[in-house]
Chains A and B, each alone.
Chain A
Amino acid sequence: MGAADQRKVDQALAWARACEAAALFSIDPMLGGVALRAPAGPARDAWLDLFRDLAPAGAPMRRAPLGIGDERLLGGLDLPATLRAGRPIAQAGILAQAHGGTLVLAMAERVQSGTAARIALAMDSGEIGAERDGMTLRAPARFGVIALDEGQGDDERPPAALLDRLAFHIDLDGVGHAVALERAVIPVEIAEARRRLPAIAGADEAIAALVTVAARLGVDSLRAPSLALRAARAACALRGGDAIEDDDIATAARLVLAPRATMFPTSESEPDDSQPSEPEQSAEAPPEPPRDSRPDDGDQSEEQAPPDLTDLVLAAAAAAIPPGLLAQLRAGKTTRAKSERGGKAGAHAPAGKRGRPVGARQGQLRDGRLGLVDTLRAAAPWQRLRRQGLEGEDARRVIVRPEDFRIKRYKQRRETSAIFVVDASGSAAMQRLAEVKGAIELLLADCYVRRDSVALVAFRGTAGEVVLPPTRSLARAKRTLAGLPGGGGTPIAAGIDAALALADTIRRKGQSPLLVLMTDGRANIGRSGAPGRAQAFEDALESGRKVRAAGIAALAIDTAPPLKSIGDAPTLRLGQAMNARYIRLPYANATTVSDAVRAASPSP
C-alpha cells in the first residue's frame, strides 16, 4: 500500500472516530464534550453540521468568542433595562443560555485559564453562580462543550482544566473534504439510544478494564475512566444493546483514553505504576491486571481462559493513539505537555484591561470604560430630587446625569517577564552549571514573590531554544531547570536571538521583558552554526547590540572564573553592547543577584 493510500485510510479512520464521538456525545451530554482539533475548513464544518443534526431538536447552541468577558459569560447588569426600570435587572450570560444544549468555544487553544475555570465550575455544578455588579446570579447551566482548537503543535492546546472534562479529543487535522462527506450515524438511532441509555447495565467489568487501561497509558486523571465508562454506556445504547459488552469498552478506550495517553503501553509489565502500596503484586504476575474486582466470577485461578479484557481494550486503545504522539512516546519523551500547559495561559489578561481595577472616579465617557455600578451608585441618592416634577413613566426612570459618570481605573503595574538566557554549553557547564542553576532558582523564587513570570532560554551546541515559555509556576520552572542538560559549543548569538524573539512576543502581550544573560562569554559557535571564536564573539556582540536597539532591559551575569583585568572579560563587553548591568557571579551571592535583577527591572 502506498503512502497516499495509507494517508487516505488514516483520514477515513479519524473521520469515522469523529462521527462516533459526535454520536456518543449527543446521546449523553454528561460526557462533557469534544475538543475538536482542526483548522477552520470544510472538515470541521461538516462535523459541526453533523453534530447539529444529531443534537435534540431545539437544543441551544451558543458560540463563545475568544476573550469573552465575565459579563457575557456569566451574566451581568442589563444597562438599558436597568435604566428603564429603575432597579437592577440581570441579563443571562452565555453559559446560562446554553443550558440544555451546547457551548461552542472558538479558538479554544487561546482561552485563558480563568475563563476555562469558570466554564469548568459550571460544568461540574450544573449551574452558574456569579456574584457580580451587586447581584447574585444563579441559573441552571447544564451544557456540553465543543472546544474548537485551531492550535498547531504541542504548545497550543486548550487549558488543561477544560480538556480534562471533555470526553473526546478529536483531531481532524488533515482530513479532506471528500472524506468528511460520509456520515455513519443517523439522527433516528440517536433518539432511540438516548431513550435506552438509563437502563444500560454491566458496569463493574467495564470499570476495572477502563481504569487499568488508563493507568497503563499513563492517564493520571480519574475523570478519564469515568468519562470512558459513560462513553461505553452510550456506545452500548447506540448499537441497541442492554448491557455493556467488550466492544463498547474498546470503543470507549479508543475514543476517550487513547488521545490522553502519555506513554506507550508495554505488555510485559505495568510501566508507570510502581504501586508502592502493593509491592508483592507486581512481582508475582506482571501482565495480569491487578486482581480485579470480579467477585461474581467466582474462579480464583490464575489463568483466565478468554483473552483478557484489559489486553483487548488496551490493544484497541493503543491502535488509536495518534501517530505523532506515538513517535514521541517511542523516543522516550514523556509528554507532560497537557498538564503543564496551564501556566502559560494564566499568565496574562488581554490588552485594554490591564492591571487591577482600583475603583472608579468621576470622568468623561471618552476617558475610559464606564464603571456602570459605580455610576448608578453615584446617581442613586439624587433620584428623588431629580424626579420631582416628572410624571408617569418618566418618574420611574433612573435619571443619570453626566456628572454621575464614573470611569473605571486600573492600576497600571506592567508585569515583568524575566527571560533567563542560560549558557548550558560545555565551557560553562560542567563545573559551573550547577552553581548557575542554584542562582537561577533563587532568582526564580524572587520573581515569583513579585508575581513576575519567568521564561528560560538555553543555548548549547549550535542553537538556542526556549525551554520554558513564560510561566509563574515555580514548580514547573524548577523541574525544567533541573532537567537542563549541559555540554557542547557556546552559541551565544543564537541564545540571544532566541531570547529576543521571545521578548518580542512578551511585549506584544503588554508585559515588559527583562533579559538576564548568564554566561562565561566564551562564544565559539557563530550564528551560522560554524565554529570559530572570533566570528562567534562578533555575532554575539551584534546580537547584543540588537538588544540595546530594541530597548530591552538586560542584565549580564558573568559566570567565568575571575580574570586578572576585569576589562577583558568577554561578558563585560557583551553586557556593554547590550547596555546591560554587569555583575560577576563569583562575587554575587543570592541577594546581590536578586537586587540586581530588581534594579534592572523596567520601572513601572
Chain B
Amino acid sequence: MALPFPFSAIVGQDDMKLAFMIAAVDPSVGGVLVFGDRGTGKSTAVRALAALLPKISVVVGCAYGCDPARPAGLCEACRERKAGGKLKSALEPVPVVDLPLGATEDRVVGALNLERALSVGEKAFEPGLLARANRGFLYIDEANLLEDHLVDLLLDVAASGENVIEREGLSVRHPARFVLIGSGNPEEGELRPQLLDRFGLAVDVKTPGDIPTRIEVVKRRDAFERDPDAFTQKWRSEEQKLRRKIVAARAALGDVVTGDAALESAARLCVALGTDGLRGELTLIRAARALASLEGDKALADSHLRRVAPFALSHRLRRNPLDEAGSTVRVSRAVNELFAA
C-alpha cells in the first residue's frame, strides 16, 4: 500500500491527535472513538499514527506477533518454541488492521482452517483479524454501521486482551491486545450507549471553519497526492520529533507521580458530572497521566485533568434529552466550576 500521510502534517484536529497519542502512550486507556463530519481526516490520522510509532520486536513466525521480551504474555506456540530453544525475533511495524464492514465473524475471531481441513483432513486454527491486530490498532470505520454482535465481540476482546474461540470443535485462546479505534458519523445512526461507555476516549471532530486552515488542509493534501515521497521527506524531521516524544513518554509513564490531590479532583469531577461507574474515573486518570508524561511533567496536575476530561467523560454522561447543551459543553462547564475554586 502507498505511503501514509505524515501524522505531523495533519492540520488542526488537535483533540483527535492528542487522543490518539494518549492511546499510543498508554494503550490501557481503552480505545478511541472519533465521531464527526466526513472528510475530516479520521482514517488518515489512524494510518498516520501507526506509521509514526516505532517498530516493535516480534517473535518470527508467530501468528500473533508475540513480544519476545515478555515471557508472560506469550501464546502457546511461542511457549513451545521457547522450550525448544531461544526465540528468534524481528522488528516489524505496528500493525493497523482494518475491520471492513463486510467482515464475517469467523474472519474476525478466527476459525477452522478450511484448506488444511479439506486437503489433509486436519483440524487447524486459522487466526483471524484479532490475531493480526495484537499489539497494534484495530480500526473500524463507520463503527456505527457495524453489526451489533460484532461490536459486542470486539469490545469484549479489547477489554480482556484475550481472544477465546470455542467453535467447530476448536478450543483456542490467544493474546489479542489492541487499541480499538472507531469512527463514525452520528448522522447515520449512533452507537448504543452501552457501547459508547466502553470506549476509553471519545472525540468529536469538526471540519475546520476558518478559511486559512481550510486552505492549508487542501494544500497539504494536494502536495501529498502529487508527490508522496517528497512530501514525506519534507515532514521527516517533524515525524521523528514526535516519535521521540511518544517513546520518551512511554518510558516515563511509570514515573509520573499521581498525588492524592489529583485523585480527589478526578473523583470530584466525576461525581459532579454524575458519570456511572468507575470506568470514567480510571480512564480520566490514565489519560491524564499519559498526557503528563507526553508533556514531560513529573506529576499529575489539575491542568492535565482539565485537558483530557472532555475526551474521557463526555460520552459517559447520562443523556438528558431536555438539556440542549452538548455533553462536551457540560463537561467543560463542570471542569470550570470545579477548578475555578
List the B side residues contacting A129 at CB < 8 Å. 98, 100
Is A330's CB within 8 Å of the partner chain B?
A: no
Query: Do the beta carbons of A130 and B211 come within 8 Å of each other?
Result: no
CA distance A56 to B145 in the complex (A): 36
Tier of interface size on chain B: 35 or more
| Cβ distance B209 to chain A, nearest Cβ, rounded Å | 6
CA distance A430 to B263 in the complex (A): 48
Is A187's CB within 8 Å of the partner chain B?
A: no
Query: Do the beta carbons of A126 and B2 come within 8 Å of each other?
Result: yes
Contact with B along A467-494 (1 / 0, CB 8 A): 0000111111010001000000000000
Contact with B along A365-392 (1 / 0, CB 8 A): 0000000010011011101100000000
Known contacts: A380-B118, A474-B190. The answer to whether A207 contacts B219 by CB under 8 A is yes
Query: Do the beta carbons of B190 and A276 come within 8 Å of each other?
Result: no
Of A384, A398, A473, most B-chain CB atoms within 10 Å: A473
| Cβ distance A78 to chain B, nearest Cβ, rounded Å | 13
Is B295's CB within 8 Å of the partner chain A?
A: no
The segment out of B18-26, B102-110, B307-315, B330-338 that lies at the interface is B102-110
**Identity of the chain A residue whose Cβ is nearest the Cβ of B188 in the assembled complex:** A342
CA distance A587 to B128 in the complex (A): 54
The segment out of B37-45, B52-60, B69-77, B265-273 that lies at the interface is B37-45
Query: Do the beta carbons of B107 and A136 come within 8 Å of each other?
Result: yes
Query: Do the beta carbons of A381 and B101 come within 8 Å of each other?
Result: no
Q: Name B212's contact: one of A86, A135, A292, A340 (CB within 8 Å).
A: A292
The segment out of A296-304, A445-453, A555-563, A578-586 that lies at the interface is A445-453
Question: Which A residues from 503 to 518 make CB contacts under 8 A with B?
Answer: none
Query: Do the beta carbons of A88 and B115 come within 8 Å of each other?
Result: yes
List the B side residues contacting A210 at CB < 8 Å. 218
| Cβ distance B315 to chain A, nearest Cβ, rounded Å | 13
**Identity of the chain A residue whose Cβ is nearest the Cβ of B113 in the assembled complex:** A134
Query: Do the beta carbons of A342 and B114 come within 8 Å of each other?
Result: no
Q: Name B104's contact: one of A131, A211, A221, A383 (CB within 8 Å).
A: A131
List the A side residues contacting B187 at CB < 8 Å. 160, 339-340, 342-343, 473, 475-476
Query: Do the beta carbons of B324 and A117 come within 8 Å of each other?
Result: no
Is A595's CB within 8 Å of the partner chain B?
A: no
The segment out of A17-25, A222-230, A417-425, A535-543 that lies at the interface is A222-230
The chain B residues found within 8 Å of chain A, CB to CB, are 1-2, 37-40, 43, 98-104, 106-108, 111-115, 117-119, 121, 123, 126, 128-129, 141-142, 145, 147-149, 168, 185-190, 192-193, 207-212, 214-219, 221-222, 225, 319, 321-322, 324
The chain A residues found within 8 Å of chain B, CB to CB, are 30, 70, 73-74, 86-88, 113-114, 117-118, 121, 124-127, 129-136, 160-161, 164, 203-204, 207-208, 210-212, 214-215, 220-226, 229, 273-278, 289-293, 339-340, 342-343, 346, 356, 373, 376-377, 379-381, 383-384, 398, 438, 441-442, 444-445, 448-449, 451, 471-476, 478, 482
Q: Closest 3 interchain pairs by CB?
A: A441-B321, A131-B107, A380-B117
Q: List 7 A-B contacts (CB under 8 A).
A: A131-B102, A134-B114, A212-B211, A221-B38, A293-B212, A373-B114, A445-B321
